[in-house]
Structure 1
Amino acid sequence: MSGTTLNPRAGEINPARTVSELKELRALTGNAQGAQRVAFTDTWLTARDFLKDKLAELPVRVRTDPAGNLWATLEGERDTALIIGGHLDSVPNGGWLDGCLNVLAGLEVLRRIAAQGKPPVTVRLVDWADEEGARFGRSLFGSSAASGHLKLEELRHLRDKDGITLPEALARVGVDLERAPQAREELRTAGAYLELHIEQGPVLEELGLPLGAVLGTVGVERHTLTFRGQAAHSGSTPMHRRRDALLAAARMAQEIYSIAARHGGVCTIGSCVTRPGIVTSVVEECSITLDQRHLDADRLAAMWHEAQEAARRFAQEGNVEVEFGYLWSIEPIPFHPDLIDACEAAILEASGTAHRLPSGPLHDAAEVARAGVPTVMMFVQSLYGISHNRIEDTLEVHLEASVRALDRLADKTMRWLTREG
């Protein structure tokens, strides 16, 4: 369906067109199992071509940076840039809205601004390359290249399930991994960054609200906890004589819920591996993974400290040993307070109600904020709180409200940049 026929009057935002284009993209790049826009694949390139065709109708300059991020630039009265971003790539069998809503809503805002003449600041739309990390396990590829946090030594030897290396996959789409850090130049004139995203969780749905202003992305601590006891025959070893590594680990499964409740964070044991792992033996070794998240750095540190204390206590009570291993961590990344206020005001204008909430998942916005660019995100309600799944969905009335709110936020941010300038 042509975007032109959907627009009632030039220069007006048309949220219905965004919903229509989302459905077009779903039909073009999905199947019965869901979205298939995995980064650097042919389907991802098809999605990129879809976006380029839409951008060709606008007075913008389109280019791909050295990390594979696609930029559309509408020149303004000043070089200072308002950036609106998202990502077209998806996980395999993913949802129809994750990432691409951000891009296509931003496209509609760009249309509206362009139709009203030269804006007071430059406006840029970016489709970040490989936000999901679904193929090579490294999320936020394009945005971390732009933020300066891409470490090439960690990426050169990454392979997908078919044995293709990341440099090989990038070369196929015209990107040289060694040049990817040069994408940092793209944020040189950045004055503010906005990102709309489906919530991917149940908070807004439980509150009965369509939209929320995001306070920031939470900090993450990921560790392994390995309990070591002694293997023994399951039939001949009395219960009181056992050094059962699984018993200590099992007690942690309940304790993390208490830790999360005390601090208002979240904790997850996502993996549990036992050895020797046979039905006739007491568990000698049990290794679990622990993921802890909080928006406050001090509370996050306290959660990890309490987890260690509990693990040592359970190990001592069970006459086993415990060892801790580091997996990964990232600090909490708060968004800009002025832009959070502007986001909430835009939501109130578009829907009459608003809520502030943190983001549990990481997003490209986190990398942009880490680069020192004033940033904010807006969430729109996710039905069932489900994402990364073909049943991912949002009411169309809420999708349209999110486009209107993003448009209002863009205007408020341009005025803010003009004042701050």
Structure 2
Amino acid sequence: MLDPQRTLAELKALRARTADEHGAQRVAYTVPWHAARAFLREQLVDLPVSVELDPAGNLWATLPGESEQELWIGGHLDSVPNGGWLDGCLNVFAGLEVLRRVIGEYGGRPPVTVRLVDWADEEGRFGHSLYGSSALSGHLDPEGAASLTDRDGVTMREALQAEGIHLGRALEAGQARQRAGAYIELHIEQGPVLEHHGLPLGVVLGTCGVERHRITVTGRAAHAGSTPMNARQDALLVLGRLSQALYTWTATHGGVSTIGSVITAPGIATSVVGQCEFTLDQRHLDPAGLATLWAEAQRNLARFCKEGGCTFAVSDLFRIEPVPFHPELIDLCEQAILEITPSTMRLPSGPLHDAAEVARAGVPTVMLFVQSLGGLSHNAAEDTREADLMLSVRALDRLADQALAWIEAQFSAPGRNPMP
């Protein structure tokens, strides 16, 4: 029998083991992260599952079924430094409770194989988010990732070697894709939309594409006291105008645009800013919308620089295309939620998730969100009502049942291709 209260108790126990007064400290490959995985393994000991690490270091608990086709339920135990108590680990322990219910209902032999996965280093300790799932999807560049360092100068290669993981073999994790029938994931929303609409649960349409750039505007440094306002080539003025304008065009085209880091030079009180370097992060679920946001940024940059006597240069930081989730699984997710609560909504995910990498690998995928209080995440104040947490476990369980039946139907129908 499904017991959401047990999931809540396990999450609190995990918090007691791996957090301090500043928040969750389950950074990948650290002592608290190892404690988190050890705690998960303790809960798996008495279940009829096999537990193993794949070549990338992802942890899998497998319940064999009548069919070799697999339903995957996933999440991640790692956190950012000083993170929240629910981000990632809710997914894992809710999936664990679904696994227990499936074992009880089917006597340990469901119609489809069920696998619970804890993805390695989702948060990107070394600056490469979604490490474990990108290894499985085939989008990881092992050579490029090897020399990435954390804030203490430890390289990814060194950290993985200490775990007994050979980065050069990480892509071998992709062999598991051959039997994947569907992937489902529960996550806190990490934003304010569901709370704004007064809804506990939502259906995720997909993850937004991202355009992230570093932009350098060059003007001319000059004395702050002797240079008239109309004679300045102020690089910061360009940013000020751009910052205001981006809210207008982003509201028009949808998505989000964020200037998140700003560095000025010479950076002293007595000089007009001669150079301003900043980051621009833009996200949209529609590829055309994302392209429009970036085109508007470049157009406005060119205009404001010309008006201010400045120039600009752009370097690419990160780019990923929007990842839509499987339309049939989206419908099933909505049905599952509506079985236990009167209303829901469909919404995109601005943050990236392991589900995006799994979907990029061609595995039919869907996510569901549970409301985040205040929209906070990656913050020790991150929280969700206990009633909503337990409701989300029930919704994931209903979705798992829907997905099991869907996988059976897909692979039993002659010539039916489950891919959208």
Name which of 119, 123, 128 aligns with 1:128.
119
Separation in 2 of the partners of 1:41 and 1:291?
29
Q: Which residue of 2 aligns with 1:32?
A: 21
Residue 66 of structure 2 is aligned to residue 54 of structure 1: no
- Counterpart selection for 2:84 from 81, 92, 95: 95
In structure 1, C-alpha distance between the alignment counterparts of 2:279 and 2:162, rounded to whole Å: 36
How far the C-alpha of 1:224 sits from its partner, in A, is 2.0
Corresponding residue for residue 205 of structure 1: 195
Distance 1:401 1:339 in 2: 19
After TM superposition, list the pairs within 5 Å mapping 1:22-421 onto structure 2. 22-117=11-106, 118-133=109-124, 135-421=125-411
**CA shift at 1:177, angstroms?**
1.2
Structure 1 counterpart of 2:408, one-letter code:
T
Amino acid at match of 1:119: P
For 1:28-65, what per-residue CA distance to the aligned partner results, in whole angstroms no more than 9, with x for missing partners?
11111111111011211111111111111111111111
Q: Which moved more, 1:382-391 or 1:321-330?
A: 321-330
SS for the counterpart of 2:149 is coil
- 2-side partners of 1:161 and 1:232: how far apart? 35
Report Cα offsets for 1:159-208 as digits up to 9, x if no partner. 22333221221122221111111111122200100000000000001111
Give distance in 2, aligned partners of 1:108 and 1:249.
50
Cα distance in 2 between the residues matched to 1:144 and 1:216: 16
**AA matched with 1:413:** A
Give how far 1:265 is off.
0.9
How far apart are the structure 2 equivalents of 1:108 and 1:48? 16
Q: 1:304 deviation in Å?
A: 0.5
1:340-366 deviation digits (Å, cap 9, x = unpaired): 001011111122211100000000000
Q: Aligned partners of 2:166, 2:68: CA distance in 1, in Å? A: 28
Greater CA drift, 403-412 or 31-40: 31-40
Residue 373 of structure 1: how far off its partner (Å): 0.3
Structure-1 separation of matches of 2:265 and 2:380 = 36
Secondary structure at the aligned position of 2:68 is classed as: coil
Match of 2:414 in 1: none
Query: Is contact 2:214-2:315 (8 Å) kept?
Result: yes
SS at match of 1:248: helix
Where 1:153 maps in the other structure, the secondary structure is: helix
Distance in 2 separating the partners of 1:347 and 1:54: 27
Name the residue aligned to 1:3: none
Whichever residue aligns with residue 210 of structure 1, its letter is P
Number of aligned positions between the proteins:
409
* Matched letter for residue 95 of structure 2: G
* Deviations, residues 242-266 of structure 1 (Å, cap 9, x unaligned): 1111111110010110121011110
SS in 1 for 2:340: helix
The answer to whether the Cα contact below 8 Å between 2:143 and 2:168 also exists between their aligned partners in 1 is no
Q: Distance in 2 between matches of 1:15 and 1:316?
A: 60
Show structure 1 runs of 4+ deviating over 4 A. none
**What is the letter of the counterpart of residue 273 of structure 1?**
I
Structure-2-length-normalised TM-score:
0.96
Map of 1:13 onto structure 2: 2
The 2-side partners of 1:350 and 1:180 are apart by 40
Aligned residue for 1:49, secondary structure, equals: helix
Q: Cα RMSD between the aligned structures? A: 0.9
**Structure 2, unaligned runs of 5 or more:** 412-420
Supply the AA of the counterpart residue of 1:79.
E
| Unaligned ranges ≥5, structure 1 | 1-11
For 2:270, what is the secondary structure of its paired residue? coil
- 2:65 partner letter: G
> What is the deviation of 1:326?
1.4
Instruction: Give the SS at the match of 1:351.
Output: coil
Paired with 1:322 and 1:130, the residues of 2 have a C-alpha distance of 35
The amino acid across from 1:16 in the alignment is Q
Once residues 169 and 226 of structure 1 are traced to their aligned partners in structure 2, the CA distance between those partners, rounded to angstroms, is 34
Alignment partners' CA distance in 1, 2:229 and 2:378:
43
User: How many angstroms does 1:225 deviate by?
Assistant: 2.1
Tell me, in whole angstroms, the C-alpha distance in 2 between the residues paired with 1:411 and 1:208: 26
Take 2:399 and 2:151, find their aligned partners in 1: how far apart are those partners?
A: 41
What CA deviation, in whole Å up to 9, does each residue of 1:372-410 have, x standing for no partner? 000000000001110111111101100010000000000
Counterpart secondary structure, 2:339: helix
CA distance in 1, matches of 2:258, 2:113: 43
